[in-house]
Structure 1
């Protein structure tokens, strides 16, 4: 089974991990052959301090909270001034007008402008400006440490655009090497191996399959669930056709007619959250497993996920390990590499902290008590899986990674990929905004200290900064520093290739995916940055998204036409 092989592979990787980690550190330090030593050492030092603090917080949580859980009162106008100062500095740097005199003027303007606006308008604005935010010590500590790091690198002078870009690159690489890889190693070493025999009767499981226009896929999904090695008499499958206009219902109903474990419902289209809540109300399992209709389970995935959940009463949910089953071409290859490097590897790191941020819809196992306790799925966002996972974490449940493997089809054209990522990004922004209180609540532990801020930065600030970096590097290349830009790009491609090789080693991915690292750094990264920019523009315009399917390889273009004999709503 894929799960057993994955578990054994991860255990074997743990023996190689220290050598690989040392090799990665040497690769980062080799950057001093191309760049000034402080530009390499300071970001690495920042990442090492962050890593030490995170492991210390897990080892001595009470002492850590006494040091960093205190809240400092900060007036709103001071916070607004700091934001304006950063915005002015970024704008001046972008137009290459950031001088000492300009920085002093920008700082003075930033300090005065919010208070002048509050005085001019009075009323609610003045009261809001006078309000004091209770800012936890932890984010202030990290921002101060980052500021000291930048000061040490640039000797307390204003950096050039090229220097800022390289500094940002070393921050990202250092955090991958000194934070993410060690957390992944700790997760593999400390992961308990649950007894998949359950020591008696296996828990009864309800498998929920929401489907919208999944003709050609829902049948294979149901077959993979029924073929699982989970005890047949301890499982039920509930398929909800959420107003499909193709043959989804008929395809699913064929399995209901031949296997009494399968129930199929048709209802008016209400969105994926509504379909899942409806299936949850119909199920009777102690544990609930959700599977997207376009995904296929490995035979041991269900048993592995449920066993992990059953073995630890503090676990509210476990996330499946997602594998792209169509990594052909550049579009498929960069996505497959992204899942290995940017999704599953990060989930392993987050799993050690018990705060996996997203239990994916293609495979997620939940304790019914936890799921019902938070009210099920909310309609507030279009990424209901992300929203639900954060709600569970805030409710005090741990969420970890399972070795259970699920195979899913990625979009095979840039047009479909753009449609998918716009929807995902919009939902992620909605969810981050909904749960923004995590940033100010130390009681949420590692979710407050690491996973939520990292997710927010990688989703919002890194792409916007990436667009500025790309623009400045193009400008630098046009102004005669093409060799420096090429050397910097080549160096980071090599280092990220080594990080990707480590991720492939622990996950057992296809080594041919390393060929897509250059496309991931130059091309795909800029595509994702554009998606974030377009999403934010969409927010400003007030556009909305609904649950729709992208084009599928096994679906004909005419499959979305209304079908005759649509069943009555249940």
Structure 2
């Protein structure tokens, strides 16, 4: 069996990796989306005015177009009565198309300095910009001030934007405008090295002569006034097609173009302005007897390299790796654009459902407690006749003595049937050596827990059978309390209250919180709704006739307790919860053991639900589980926990990219609600509140592990994997309880 278990565990490793990769992929998508939205329109310039002593006077006093031809800084001015319309911060799905329409109607080109993250989000608009004959330049990827950034960050900002342009329109560009830049006289000692570095790489940096200040939304007339050059001068004029509400810009632009045309101005792109300036200088040089082409060569943009026309000379056709990486980037962003909003909506629904469930649990748990803990409540005539207690045992040498000694103290008459399932560690001999007169030990070949339980049921002498695990101990009054509900002839099974005995470790304390909440809130709710999904293997009681009627404990699933509980519902039996019947069990002491146990539980529950899927269409009282219980279990034990890790990831995403304070407060609010629910559960069960101090850490560590276990189980189920029973290592540290504390 050890070899088989090891082989089964080995087969699960690819599924664990697949589960982690799936979560990693979704996390990556969210991080990509957050990166795209992080700084555009929301950041600030990181520095104040600084000196410009290192910047040449020829640059500070020069034109708005700065290039480094042959390593020397040169500036170019826009020719007289010429305007190079430039637009920053786009593209934007609302404003950019409106601006393109105005430019097309007036037969005017523009130069759009695009933010890479926006390019990757709206590639179709970028393609329209280029197809219409406009020119594009880089405005960084995240609209960050490059002055204080590292060389690696600067390189990344430029490269990512080039990839976005390649993926969107199949081009790259040599034009650049720094965020927060203005006229050349604003270049300082911090930004100058950036322009020199980019110039050495072939970029031409573009500044402005005339700023419309449209981002201030001063009104249409002022935008037109501020964008108008003085004294027939040529100008690089700044507008914005994104970064805020731009309706005033749209209204002003058409009027502005008509006004400037009426004054005799012509419109061009930045490359067109460079070409015109070069032509004018060449003509002046020829008139002075100089050789033509004095400004050609080097990294000049006057040449339409890459097949562009005169107005788009800065464009280069993207090829090879750049093109394919760009398309991959755009495709990844498209996935993020659809995935993240969809996840946000889905997680909002999940969040509301979980909060609704908490509210429902609190209300129904209180109602259940008040109903069951009144003097008027009674199941019927007291059950005093003997019952059979079945203890399946496989290699339980550490625990079996404590288990049987606890049963020996029972205040209710019992017979004890120990079914030794082929143990190899002397479990049978230990049980027999105790010499207890009411104990029978039955030996069978190793066949699994369901077979051992069925063997015990067949050999039981009484009509009520209590089932427990071989590592569990009962209080003296447990059996008496557990069997009292059978006074109601409609009750076919009773779930007891399982408690974590080894709770004085971190892992044990986490499981203790989980058990108390699960038994005192979940099971109370399910009891009132008459759709209890599981009789716990550690403590449950059954009518023997009901067990035999449904075919006994099934070996079809790994959750035989859930399987038989649902089967009994479908046969019309009532399943109830008895809070006062307490059993103390040894919870897994290591994360590896815990993973193994919960993985089996989760997978077995899915098997049982799938096996009984036809309960959804069952009619009459026996169909109540299918109508109520099945949806609740599927939604709150499978679906919502599967999405729960994404809630945490989304919380981190919101803290980083949206609003840290609001996101943190929302997370703390949810934690507070869970803490209230846990505290109420502890109150109902008279548990000590000190263990709740572990709850914040439980939410950060233990809960994540449980989610990964469930995701692992889902993937195993979807890929058709099968599991074997896996024996957990026990220490026997849970002894006979002295009380309920």
TM-score, length of structure 1 as denominator length: 0.66
CA contact 1:196–1:304 (8 Å) conserved in 2: no
| 2:409 pairs with 1:227 | yes
The secondary structure found in structure 2 opposite 1:356 is coil
CA contact (8 A) 2:473 2:584 kept: yes
Describe how 1:321-336 pairs up with structure 2 within 5 A.
321-336=497-512
Q: Give unmatched runs, 5+ long, in structure 2.
A: 1-25, 37-92, 94-339, 734-741
Cα deviation, residue 497, structure 1: 0.9
Deviations 1:208-255, CA, capped at 9 Å, x for gaps: 000011112011111111210013xxx211101101121211111113
**What is the deviation of 1:204?**
2.8
Of residues 371, 378, 383 in structure 2, which corresponds to 1:193? 378
- Look up the match of 1:308: 485
Tell me if 1:552 matches 2:734.
Answer: no
Cα distance in 1 for partners of 2:443, 2:469 equals: 16
Check whether the contact 2:570–2:623 (CA below 8 A) recurs between aligned residues: no
Which one is further off, 182-191 or 422-431?
182-191
Is residue 365–residue 525 contact of structure 2 (8 Å, CA) maintained in 1? yes
The answer (yes or no) to whether the contact 2:600–2:723 under 8 Å persists in 1 is yes
**1:507-562 Cα deviation digits (max 9, x unpaired):** 1122112212213332222211100111123234544322332122239xxxxxxx
Equivalent residue, structure 2, for 1:447: 625
Q: Supply the distance in 1 between the matched residues of 2:575 and 2:493 (Cα, whole angstroms).
A: 5
Indicate yes or no: 2:685 matched with 1:484. Answer: no
From 474, 477, 482, give the equivalent of 1:297: 474
User: Relative to structure 2, which stretch is displaced further, 342-351 or 278-287?
Assistant: 342-351
Residues 394 and 346 (structure 1 numbering): CA distance in 2 closer, same or farther, change over 3 Å? same
**In the comparison of the two structures, how many residue pairs are matched?**
400
**What is the 5 A alignment of 1:117-516?**
165=347, 168-177=350-359, 179-191=360-372, 192-194=377-379, 197-198=382-383, 202-231=384-413, 235-255=414-434, 258-309=435-486, 311-402=487-578, 403-443=580-620, 444-516=622-694
| Deviation of the 1:484 alpha carbon | 2.7
Closer, same or farther in 2 for the Cα pair 1:481/1:449, shift >3 Å? same
Per-residue deviation at 1:445? 4.6
RMSD, matched Cα: 2.8
CA distance in 2, matches of 1:322, 1:92: 40
* Larger Rg belongs to: 2
| Alpha-carbon contact 2:503-2:512 (below 8 Å) kept | yes
1:428 deviates by 0.7
8 Å Cα contact 2:386/2:412 also seen in 1? no
Which structure is higher in RCO with an 8 Å CA cutoff and minimum separation 6?
1
TM-score by length of 2: 0.51
After superposition, give the CA deviation of every residue in 1:54-73 in whole Å (9 maximum; x if it has no partner). xxxxxxxxxxxxxxxxxxxx
Q: Measured at CA, do residues 509 and 445 of structure 1 come closer, stay the same or move farther in structure 2, by a change above 3 Å?
A: farther
| Other structure's SS at 2:682 match | helix
1:93–1:161 CA contact under 8 A, matched in 2 = no
Shift of 1:480: 4.9
Mapping for residues 44-123 of structure 1, pairs under 5 Å:
none
Q: Where do 1:510-529 residues align within 5 Å?
A: 510-529=688-707
Question: Mean Cα displacement is larger for which, 545-554 or 344-353?
Answer: 545-554
Q: CA contact under 8 A between 1:476 and 1:482: conserved in structure 2?
A: yes
Instruction: After superposition, give the CA deviation of every residue in 1:300-327 in whole Å (9 maximum; x if it has no partner).
Output: 0101111221x10000010111111111
Query: Which segments of 5 or more consecutive residues in structure 1 lack a partner in the other structure?
Result: 1-89, 101-157, 556-570
Of 712, 717, 724, 1:534 maps to: 712
